[in-house]
Structure 1
Amino acid sequence: MRPRARVASALGAASLAAMVVAQVASGLQPRPITLTSVVVLLLAASALAFACVTHPPARAVAAFAAVVATGYAAEWIGIRTGLPFGDYHYTGVLWPAPGGVPVIVALAWGGMGLAAHAVAAAVAPVSRAARIVTGALALTAWDLFLDPQMIRLGLWVWHDPGPYRGVPLVNFAGWLVVSLLVMALLERVLAGPTAWSAGLVSIYTVMAVMETVGFAVVFVPPDPLVATAGGLSMGAFTLLAWRRGRGRRPDPEAGRA
């Protein structure tokens, strides 16, 4: 591993460890919202650092920025038109929120977008089309946790609540559409051979485990439905990624500017 890649890997690991600490701390206090933004910032920092291990830094930053911009645009359109997620609005708890969309939400798209793409690269390393579809499904699986949790925290409100803990089913269709666009963008920006990234897959794994445990036993009241639905969905992608990615090595040219 090149020196620059070693530094990026260390920064990614430190940010991921700090994110876990912040996530645990948020689950132990009566108002976890105070650490929500910290968790997302650390998630984004960790994902960007790990992306710099397996890709040239300029390309990793461009990829992250593209996903952040796409997520922001989708949310900006969504709160104004109801497309593609359904009718909803943010409550103003998260800030700053230029144009009505919290910046932290766009950063979450960026961090988990990179992580889901790395999962897809491990599961389907040969086929670009398969990576796009797999990555989109992996990213959408995360929303089985995300939306119920954010509704609990009062971060956004659905105008027409749906059957999945108040989340309308059209939301998940919208997530899949936007996630397909995100994965197609990442495939274009991160051009060239797709390397195995244990760091980015670790981010996805950590989120899957912590959200499952949170909904199963930590949150008050617990929610076995969400813990099962999200845990099985993200868990399946996690197991596939580690099983198929194990033994692969990062591209020796990774991280070269």
Structure 2
Amino acid sequence: MWQQVVQFYNRFASPKWFYQQSSVWVTWLSAVAIAGALTGLVWGLLFAPADYQQGNSFRIIYIHVPAALVAQSAYIMMAVSGGAYLIWQRKMAAWIARAIAPVGAAFCLIALVTGAIWGKPTWGTWWMWDARLTSMLVLLFLYFGVMALQQAIESSDVGYRAGAILSLVGLVNIPIIKYSVEWWNTLHQPATLKLTEKPSMHPDMLWPLLIMIGTAYVFLLLMIVLRTRNEILWHERKRQWLSKVLEF
């Protein structure tokens, strides 16, 4: 079993193998993302019943919740990829971490903007220095910091290492985001979904939310694959294998 894991990792770390195999992944991930987005948005925005307290304003959760979850997950993936680069010096790990950063930052920004849109009718203000909101803003700054380090340092290897170290240090912010509503007295509502508790949402509200969460993760994977392919095209542009592949 362990040998199979090592073998898969070695294949995954090969730019040639990744580029050739990922062309199939892009097709399937794109199809699933489009189908999931259409299903989840139409169901959630048009057919799900209005909330008895928040009315139709609750529908922002079909974008806000998936974006917030994916922003945190993407950061963990970026940190893991950065850690793999620091330990094994695999260039693919650095390229994947570089590919994840802007995508995760975009999801984080979407979560902050949709949260502000939801907060205006709910709290009466666009922004509060709430623990959950503030920690999400810190996450966005961490993304910006990692991207800056990856690009600003002249030596790409040094930039990758610096970005990886910052991403690993920033992992401490992830549990703060998750448990902020439990550790402090915040305006932000508790988690909508918990693995240890039965959902309190009506099924007609819950299912489109689950579909949108799944779709957001599929879209994240799609963007990572596409951006990693671009990284491979740039860094391997002088390699003979890539010239042969592009001829077809």
The TM-score range, normalised by the shorter chain, is 0.3 to 0.5
Q: Report the TM-score, using the length of structure 1 for normalisation.
A: 0.32
Between 1 and 2, higher relative CO (CA 8 Å, sep ≥ 6) is seen in 2
Q: Report the TM-score, using the length of structure 2 for normalisation.
A: 0.33
